[in-house]
Structure 1
Amino acid sequence: MSKLKELIQELCPSGVEYQKLGDFVSIYTGTQFNKRDMNVEGNYPVINGGINPSGYIEQYNEDLDTITISQGGASAGYVAWQNRKFWAGAHCYVVRPINENLSNKYLYFFLKNQEGYLQQMQHGAGIPALNRRKVQALQIPIPPLAVQEEIVKILDRFAEYAAELQARQEQYEYYRNKLLIFNNISGGGTQA
C-alpha cells in the first residue's frame, strides 16, 4: 500500500471536505510597472497577464515560491509557480494561503489542475479578464497537511520526470538533425 493511501485511510477515512478557496487564500493584484522602464534582461522578471515575463527590472515586490495567475489578456487564467523574486504587475494575481491548514505548493498544484477551467472563466470582449470572485468561489479539497505534503512530493517527482523527458526529447531531436544532415558532416551532398 502506498504511503499516500495509508495517510488517507488513517487521517481522513470519511473522505475530504471541499471548502471555498476564498476562505483559505488571499488573492490580490500587483502594481503597474511602465513597459518603457523594463529591460530585455535584468535581475527580476515582471509578471503580468501573459505566460512569459513582460520584461525585467532591478527591483521586486514579491518573494520566490509564490503562485501567480494571469488576470488579464489572452492568457488570463494561466497559473505559474514563481521560483525567484519578481515584480507582480497590475494584470497578475498573487495567490497566498492565509490558513495554516493549506500548503502553498499543494495550492499551486490544485490551481494548476484548474487552469483550463480558470481560462474558460475569462470575460470581456476586448481584453479578456479573470474575475477574482470567481477564483475565490472555487471549491478546494483540504485534506490534512500530511496528506497534502505527500501529494506534493508525488507531483514534484512527476514534474522532475517530465522536465527530464523534455530535455531528453530536445537532445534526441538535436542529434537526430545533426546526424541526418549529411552535408554538414562531409562538406558535400544535398539536403532533402
Structure 2
Amino acid sequence: MSKLEELIQRYCPDGVEYKQLKNILKIRNGKDYKHLDNGTIPVYGSGGVMTYVDTSIYDKPSVLIPRKGSIDKLYYVDVPFWNVDTVFYTEINKSLVIEKYVFYALQKEHLEKLNTAGGVPSLTQAVLNDVEIPVPPLPVQEEIVRILDIFTELQAELQKRKSQYSYYLDNLLSFNKWGGYQTEIRRMKLKDVCMKTNNIKWKSATGQYRYIDLSSVDIQTHSIISAIEIDKMSAPSRAQQIVQGNDVIFATTRPTQMRACIIPTEYNGDICSTGYCVLRVDKKILLPRFLFFSLTVSNFKTYLSNNLTLGNYPSISNSALLEYEVPVPSLADQQKIVSILDRFDRLANDLSSGLPAEMKKRRQQYEYYRDKLLSFKRKGA
C-alpha cells in the first residue's frame, strides 16, 4: 500500500467532502499597473508575466485565474506579485486547503469549459465561486502535492533545457565581444531594413486567397497550421495585407505571446490579418531567417513589454514595432549564425523528436496521474 493510500485509509476511508470555491477562498480582481515604477515584482496578465514593477498587490501564495482571454491557463504564484484586471487572484483559507493543492485541483476542472462569453473567452466570479473541488484532509492534500510536484519538476527540467537554447540564442545575437566579435556590430531600426508592403483592393480582387488569421500561426512551432479560403465576398474586415514568401509576420495583438513565423513560398500572394506586422526585409541588408531569430531574443521581449498599449487586448503599434533596432552583421556572418541556430531550433522545437515531443509525453503523464490522484469518492454518496 502506498503512502497516499495509507493516508486516505486513515483520514477519509468513507470519501471526502466537495466544497465550492466560495467556501475555501476569496476571488479578487486585478488592477492596472501603469502608475507603478519598474522593479522586480512580476505583473501577471492572462497570458503570463507581462512586465515587472516595484509594488505587489498580494504577497502570499495564490492561484491566479484568467478572467478574460487565455482562460485555460492557471498560475500558481508563491512570491509577491501584481495582476491586471484580466486575471483574478485568490486569497486561500489555509486552514482548509493547501494553496498548491487548489492549483492542481482547478487544473483538473478545465475551467475553460465554463466560458460565459460568445466572443472573447471569459469567466465570472459568480461562475467560479460555484465550482466544486474535493477537499480531503490536509495530510492527504500534502501527499498529493508532493507527488504532482515531482511530475512538474520533470517538466521544469525539460523547460530548463529549452531555456538554455534561449540563453545561447541571446548570446549569439548580442555581438558584445562574444564568439570572436571584437568590433561593435551596427544596429538598424526595422523601418530602415524593411520594405513597403501592400494591402489588397477587394473591390477589384478576383479568385480565392488563403487567409492567415492570428489563430493560424502556432506559438510553439512558429508555423502556419491552418488557413481558410476567402474571396471578396467572405473576407473578414481584418483580411487586408498581402504577404510574400519569406516575409516575417509578427502578431501585434498580445505580442508577448511571440506569435510569429516566416511565410512559406507557397503562400506567396495570400492574405494575412491586420493583427500582424508584415516585415519584408531588404535581402541586401538582412536575411529573413536572421531577422526571425532576432525577434526571439530577450531584448526584443523587453522592448515589447515596455511599449505595450493596454486595451481590450495588450498590443503594440506597427510604428512602435518598427522602431526596434536589430543587429546587422555581414550577410556571410548572418548565414553562419542562422545555420547554428537552425540546428538548435530543431533540437528545441521539433515536435516529433526534439524537446517538445518529450515535454508532451511528460505533460500527458502528469495529466493522467493528476486526474487519477484527484478523483475521490464523494462522502455520503
**1:122 aligned partner:** 115
**1:9 aligned partner:** 9
Contact 2:27-2:88 at 8 Å conserved across structures: yes
SS state of the match for residue 48, structure 2?
Answer: coil
> RMSD of the alignment, in Å?
2.8
The alignment covers a number of residue pairs equal to 171
SS state of the match for residue 88, structure 2?
Answer: strand
1:57-90 C-alpha deviation (Å, 9 max, x unpaired) = 2211111522111111x21242101132111222
| Residue 53 in structure 1 maps to residue 49 in structure 2 | yes
CA–CA separation in structure 2 for the residues paired with 1:80 and 1:169: 20
- Give the counterpart letter for 2:52 in structure 1: Y
**Are residues 121 and 156 of structure 1, via their aligned partners in 2, closer, same or farther at CA, if it must alter by over 3 Å?**
same
**1:88 aligned partner:** 83
CA–CA separation in structure 2 for the residues paired with 1:169 and 1:92: 27
Q: How does 1:119-158 map to 2 (within 5 A)?
A: 119-158=112-151
CA–CA separation in structure 1 for the residues paired with 2:56 and 2:6: 42
**1:78 aligned partner:** 73
Say which structure, 1 or 2, has more relative contact order (CA 8 Å, 6+ apart).
1
Structure 2 length-normalised TM: 0.40
Gaps of 5+ in 1: 175-182, 185-190
Q: How does 1:177-192 map to 2 (within 5 A)?
A: none
**Are residues 170 and 59 of structure 1, via their aligned partners in 2, closer, same or farther at CA, if it must alter by over 3 Å?**
closer
Contact 1:77-1:122 at 8 Å conserved across structures: no
CA–CA separation in structure 2 for the residues paired with 1:27 and 1:98: 11
Contact 1:46-1:57 at 8 Å conserved across structures: yes
CA–CA separation in structure 2 for the residues paired with 1:20 and 1:83: 23
SS state of the match for residue 42, structure 1?
Answer: strand
SS state of the match for residue 53, structure 1?
Answer: strand
Shift of residue 53, structure 1, vs aligned partner: 2.0
CA–CA separation in structure 1 for the residues paired with 2:70 and 2:132: 22
| Residue 28 in structure 1 maps to residue 28 in structure 2 | yes
**1:68 aligned partner:** 64
SS state of the match for residue 101, structure 1?
Answer: coil
- Give the counterpart letter for 1:66 in structure 2: S
State percent identity of aligned pairs.
Answer: 34
Shift of residue 126, structure 1, vs aligned partner: 4.4
Q: Report which stretch shifted further, 79-88 or 135-144.
A: 79-88
Shift of residue 55, structure 1, vs aligned partner: 2.2
Shift of residue 169, structure 1, vs aligned partner: 6.6
Shift of residue 99, structure 1, vs aligned partner: 5.8
Shift of residue 21, structure 1, vs aligned partner: 1.9
Q: Which has the larger radius of gyration?
A: 2
| Residue 164 in structure 1 maps to residue 161 in structure 2 | no
**Are residues 170 and 145 of structure 1, via their aligned partners in 2, closer, same or farther at CA, if it must alter by over 3 Å?**
same
- Give the counterpart letter for 1:56 in structure 2: Y
